[in-house]
Structure 1
Amino acid sequence: MPMNDNNKMNKRYLGIELGSTRIKVVLIDENLKPVATGSSAWENRLIDGYWSYDLDLVWDKIREAYGEMAAQYKSLTKKSLSKVNAIGISGMMHGYLPFDKNDQLLTGFRTWRNNKQLHASQALTQLFDYPVPQRWSIAHFYQAMLNQEEHVSKVYALNTLAGYVHWKLTGKRVIGIGEASGMFPIDSHTKNYNIEMMSKFNTKAEEIGYQVNIEEILPIVQVAGETAGYLTNEGAKLIDPSGCLEGNIPMCPPEGDAATGMVATNSVKTKTGNISAGTSIFAMIVLEKNLKKRHSEIDMVTTPTGNPVAMVHVNNGTSDLNGWVELLGEAAKLLGADFSINTLYEQLYKESLKGEKDCDGLLAYNYISGEHITDFESGRPLFVRRPDSRFTLANFMKAHLYASMAVLRIGLDILTVDEAIHVSEITGHGGLFKTPIVGQRYMAGATNIPVTVMNHAGEGGPWGMALLASYVEKKEAYPDISQFLEDEVFSDVDKRIMYPCDADVAGFRKYLKAYKKGICIERRAVDNM
């Protein structure tokens, strides 16, 4: 639909999200609906033992995705995009980007996927009496200290991927509180890093020979609705080298993909939750009160406004499944078949519905990398079956779809069983839910919780970031972001809810029992390959 600069649709907000497989750009209008989009694919690589991305590639991919969006916008409006009302940057949470005082990166980008920080995770969890998963930036930093890595003494600033891009675009080392909560523990009362824990960390670092002030090293924390700097002219050219995009545009605090997922699914109020299902899978439950005890498997993070959230983060989502789909696609093309990748996914996912409820003894372990919840430092993708199992395409696909949800269920049981947290409904988004019904049905059966999917389920992240950008202008009218989302964003959104089917719940329970029993097979594979 063409946009008319003379009516109420002349306002525009831009969301840029650096996901694990694609960098995506979404432009929304004053009605907060997407009007133009762009994307560019990229992949992590195992470099010197660490999962990483080339930071130089960040800018190439942002420009490519932005260029696609801008071309689409120009095709719709017959005008070049030169100005937007606000911009927001999102990216994969956690990870490690250490810089020296000359702004030089000291190591390769170490992403959330790395599970080499077990000793640091355990030590800091004990020190803080607060769960510090291996993915967190502070765990990466402390592990580098324990490893006596040469670069540690030169660290002047730490950042995440979203924080890094925002800094380059604005000159401001600031970060949204949701993203900050994956760097260092947050005090929900002060809406900032926990002062007592920072003091403990500094003391602990000194004990092993490092003089640091972690408060000065971490980026400044801001909450949703605040202005976190302005796009500089140099920053504008990093996004749009044509020079058409102007500078001096307000930018909201950069956030992680967990925060954008909460916004994009209207899951920022207490007792709401969402599941993001893609390369990684994680569930976010907004809490009324703190958990009864510490659980090393559960991340304690926050909403974009600083309210406490219990997060079940699973490193391995659909990556192994995607690999099998591509392999099956290659086989089909050898026979002369002509199809799109979306059609291939849709047909294979639908075929899985014909499989046995428990996959009849087929098991998959989708461990491309390590897995914190099941205590694996590294992974080996693995598929096994009993000799008497029905080895059909339907059972094969269902086994791999179930595998992507198995560790999530193990983590959710800590919240729903051990902590007795009641979740009445959860909203799903991400690539797993693109095919209608299939992913939603399996997730409802796997979690035994009703699952809602909205009509934008496959592309919620960058849209959620664009909504956070728009909230810079909306906060005065809506001090409570949940009211803003309820009134202006989700009042007329199409959605469908699916309740757990007893047969699916029982089938997944049987699959999960076999999965847990067979984890020893994955352990042997990791230890001996």
Structure 2
Amino acid sequence: MRAQEQVFLGIDAGTQSLKLLAYDAGLKKILHVSAAPLELISRDDGSREQLAEWWLAALRQCMSELPDDIKRRVRGIGVSGQQHGFVPLNKNGEVIAPVKLWCDTSTIAECAEITERFGGVERCIDAVGNPILPGYTISKILWLKKNNPQAYGELAHILLPHDYLNFHLTGKIFTEYGDASGTSYLNILRREYDRDMLQALDPERDLLPMLPPLLEANATVPLGETARAEFGLPTGVKVSTGGGDNMMAAFGTGSVTPGVLTLSLGTSGTLFAHSDAPAIDPGSELAAFCSSSGGWLPLLCTMNCTVATERTRKALGKSIEECEALLAASTPGAGGIQSLPFYNGERIPNLPHARASLHGLNDSNMTPANLYRAAMEGATFTLRRGLDAFARAGQTFTAIRLTGGGAKSPHWRQMIADVFNLPVEVPAQQEGAAFGAAMQALWACSENADLAALTEEHLAVDTSLGCAPDAESSAAYQTHYQSFLELLSQQYPSVQPVE
């Protein structure tokens, strides 16, 4: 590529905002970042929805803020989108219903119905690699059929959020294996859509023709003329296949080769790692997803991470800086207070109806410092269960690569190191999925490039933010973690330790 054409755009459509990042591969420098907030439709039945037009409006706003001198040098674009969403289109390519999101828990009955028709949880895992959980795309399609039959009758294309943004950019409908593996109707073992699962979803209608073609991870599609003119971009720009936000974050943190465990501390908490072969958890808590880099990305997602700390912080009326001081004034175990931080129900463990609760309060330990630490410990212990799931799937690690908003907290970084008993590393580029999307575009536009070498060249670790486990705290946390597991099983007997 010519020296002046080395800018790659990363677009990340998340739950709370859409972000646009411009990365200069020649200078190895992020040139620009802009973001636009997104609304969220919430209902008491667990519905969590957005309108697809909001994403396009946010994208237009961010593109309008991108300086013209950067636009002229754009070579490629990568798109990251929140996983599991369902974007229904009619034959004219128009969105015909609100988009149900990953955090939507209103489809519990549909999950059970499809699972029963398919032959049970074990057959789901054996056949497609994953159970059908609330939040996955498949149950949202059945929900539309039952609750909006008119829209279902018009349904012609079934897209994921990042697919829809790619459609807007290119005028073409396509997807890739990583994001598609979060639907429950992609067989992650054979890397193809599962006809039997689609029939269990709707025995009366063939949905296969409505699913987007699957492209390889390093494929590109030309930017459409309509989008090129709309955004003022040069000719010849290519759009990579993109992927789900976690798949793109894997590019941004280096989890594109085995041995690197990424932990994202965001609204949700996510653990994922690259694998050269499918990694199946006998306990069915680890999602056996494909990656967006040509392999697999075993992953575990909890729905309550910074949700727990932020709700507690606001209830205490404290600033982030004041809460950091509270952590410094408290010790592991939070004075005996334990938190089950299930403010939004929970995905792993599968407790969609769960509610948050505090345990062990007395007249001496109920201090702001202990309450805030308990919230952080509860979120961290829930994620620590994920390390057990990775171990059941045969995965081991030598370090944790930390990202997300929570990674900015020095005390949380140290807590992760102590609870997981692993060194913590922090990438220098903390733009997560948006940076990863730009990296995937760079890889896809660099013919025959070795991904591991490309990652080594462009991804740096900020050594000043890393930390190692403290032996005394780590030993204490092993005891506190076991107490957390015991409390969890007492409160929710369905959640039992899996060997």
TM-score by length of 2: 0.86
Cα displacement string for residues 194-250 of structure 1 (whole angstroms, at most 9, x for unaligned residues)? 4xxx2212443464xx21132x2222222332113323324652xx4xxx4456521
Residues 184 and 193 in structure 1, CA contact (< 8 A), matched pair in contact too: no
Cα displacement string for residues 477-503 of structure 1 (whole angstroms, at most 9, x for unaligned residues)? x1x3122212x213x543354222233
2:477 maps to 1:515 = no
Specify every segment of 5 or more residues in structure 1 that has no aligned partner in the other structure, as ranges: 1-6, 333-343, 525-529
Deviates more, 1:81-90 or 1:494-503: 494-503
Residues 219 and 444 in structure 2, CA contact (< 8 A), matched pair in contact too: yes
In structure 2, the CA distance between the partners of 1:107 and 1:394, relative to structure 1 (3 Å rule), is same
2:89 maps to 1:99 = yes
What is residue 349 of structure 2 aligned with on the other side? 374
Q: Which amino acid aligns with 2:195?
A: S
User: How far apart are residue 307 of structure 1 and its match?
Assistant: 0.9
Alpha-carbon distance between aligned partners in 1 of 2:447 and 2:100, rounded to the nearest angstrom: 35
User: How far apart are residue 382 of structure 1 and its match?
Assistant: 3.6
User: How far apart are residue 149 of structure 1 and its match?
Assistant: 5.3
2:151 maps to 1:155 = no
Which of 426, 430, 453 is matched with 1:483 structurally? 453
What is residue 230 of structure 1 aligned with on the other side? 223
What is residue 182 of structure 1 aligned with on the other side? 182
2:471 maps to 1:502 = yes
Which of 57, 60, 63 is matched with 1:60 structurally? 57
Alpha-carbon distance between aligned partners in 1 of 2:245 and 2:202, rounded to the nearest angstrom: 33
Cα displacement string for residues 389-438 of structure 1 (whole angstroms, at most 9, x for unaligned residues)? 5223322221111122222222321222x344321222111111123x32
Cα displacement string for residues 286-308 of structure 1 (whole angstroms, at most 9, x for unaligned residues)? 23544466432111112212312
What is residue 430 of structure 1 aligned with on the other side? 404
Cα displacement string for residues 336-390 of structure 1 (whole angstroms, at most 9, x for unaligned residues)? xxxxxxxx32441243132121111223333232212222223434444421452
Alpha-carbon distance between aligned partners in 2 of 1:390 and 1:409, rounded to the nearest angstrom: 24
Alpha-carbon distance between aligned partners in 2 of 1:401 and 1:137, rounded to the nearest angstrom: 30
Which of 366, 369, 380 is matched with 1:394 structurally? 369
What is residue 172 of structure 2 aligned with on the other side? 172
Q: What is the count of residue pairs matched by the alignment?
A: 479
Alpha-carbon distance between aligned partners in 1 of 2:453 and 2:235, rounded to the nearest angstrom: 31
What is residue 237 of structure 2 aligned with on the other side? 249
Residues 138 and 201 in structure 2, CA contact (< 8 A), matched pair in contact too: no
Q: Which amino acid aligns with 1:158?
A: I
Which of 103, 122, 132 is matched with 1:113 structurally? 103
2:451 maps to 1:455 = no
Alpha-carbon distance between aligned partners in 1 of 2:291 and 2:474, rounded to the nearest angstrom: 30
Alpha-carbon distance between aligned partners in 2 of 1:136 and 1:206, rounded to the nearest angstrom: 16
Q: Percent identity?
A: 19
User: How far apart are residue 517 of structure 1 and its match?
Assistant: 4.2
2:310 maps to 1:322 = yes
Residues 176 and 222 in structure 1, CA contact (< 8 A), matched pair in contact too: yes
Q: Which amino acid aligns with 2:205?
A: Q
User: How far apart are residue 111 of structure 1 and its match?
Assistant: 0.7
2:30 maps to 1:44 = no
Cα displacement string for residues 297-349 of structure 1 (whole angstroms, at most 9, x for unaligned residues)? 11111221231221111122212322333444xx46xxxxxxxxxxx324412
In structure 2, the CA distance between the partners of 1:354 and 1:164, relative to structure 1 (3 Å rule), is same
Residues 233 and 247 in structure 1, CA contact (< 8 A), matched pair in contact too: no
Q: Which secondary structure state, in structure 2, belongs to the residue aligned with residue 228 of structure 1?
A: strand
Q: Which secondary structure state, in structure 2, belongs to the residue aligned with residue 8 of structure 1?
A: coil
What is residue 273 of structure 1 aligned with on the other side? 261
Residues 380 and 416 in structure 2, CA contact (< 8 A), matched pair in contact too: yes
Specify every segment of 5 or more residues in structure 2 that has no aligned partner in the other structure, as ranges: 494-499
In structure 2, the CA distance between the partners of 1:370 and 1:193, relative to structure 1 (3 Å rule), is farther
Q: Which amino acid aligns with 2:438?
A: A
Deviates more, 1:127-136 or 1:399-408: 127-136
In structure 2, the CA distance between the partners of 1:185 and 1:350, relative to structure 1 (3 Å rule), is farther
Q: Which amino acid aligns with 2:18?
A: I
Alpha-carbon distance between aligned partners in 1 of 2:35 and 2:281, rounded to the nearest angstrom: 42
Alpha-carbon distance between aligned partners in 2 of 1:313 and 1:474, rounded to the nearest angstrom: 32
Deviates more, 1:261-270 or 1:286-295: 286-295
Residues 5 and 73 in structure 2, CA contact (< 8 A), matched pair in contact too: no
User: How far apart are residue 518 of structure 1 and its match?
Assistant: 4.0
In structure 2, the CA distance between the partners of 1:11 and 1:510, relative to structure 1 (3 Å rule), is same
Alpha-carbon distance between aligned partners in 1 of 2:61 and 2:198, rounded to the nearest angstrom: 42
Alpha-carbon distance between aligned partners in 1 of 2:201 and 2:328, rounded to the nearest angstrom: 53
Residues 268 and 305 in structure 2, CA contact (< 8 A), matched pair in contact too: yes
In structure 2, the CA distance between the partners of 1:153 and 1:65, relative to structure 1 (3 Å rule), is same
Q: Which amino acid aligns with 1:499?
A: A
2:395 maps to 1:421 = yes
In structure 2, the CA distance between the partners of 1:419 and 1:169, relative to structure 1 (3 Å rule), is closer
Alpha-carbon distance between aligned partners in 1 of 2:298 and 2:238, rounded to the nearest angstrom: 31
What is residue 418 of structure 2 aligned with on the other side? 445
Q: Which secondary structure state, in structure 1, belongs to the residue aligned with residue 416 of structure 2?
A: helix
In structure 2, the CA distance between the partners of 1:386 and 1:149, relative to structure 1 (3 Å rule), is farther
1:347-362, aligned counterparts within 5 Å?
347-362=322-337
Which of 431, 439, 444 is matched with 1:467 structurally? 439
Which of 9, 15, 18 is matched with 1:14 structurally? 9
2:288 maps to 1:300 = yes
User: How far apart are residue 262 of structure 1 and its match?
Assistant: 0.8
What is residue 337 of structure 1 aligned with on the other side? none
User: How far apart are residue 267 of structure 1 and its match?
Assistant: 1.1
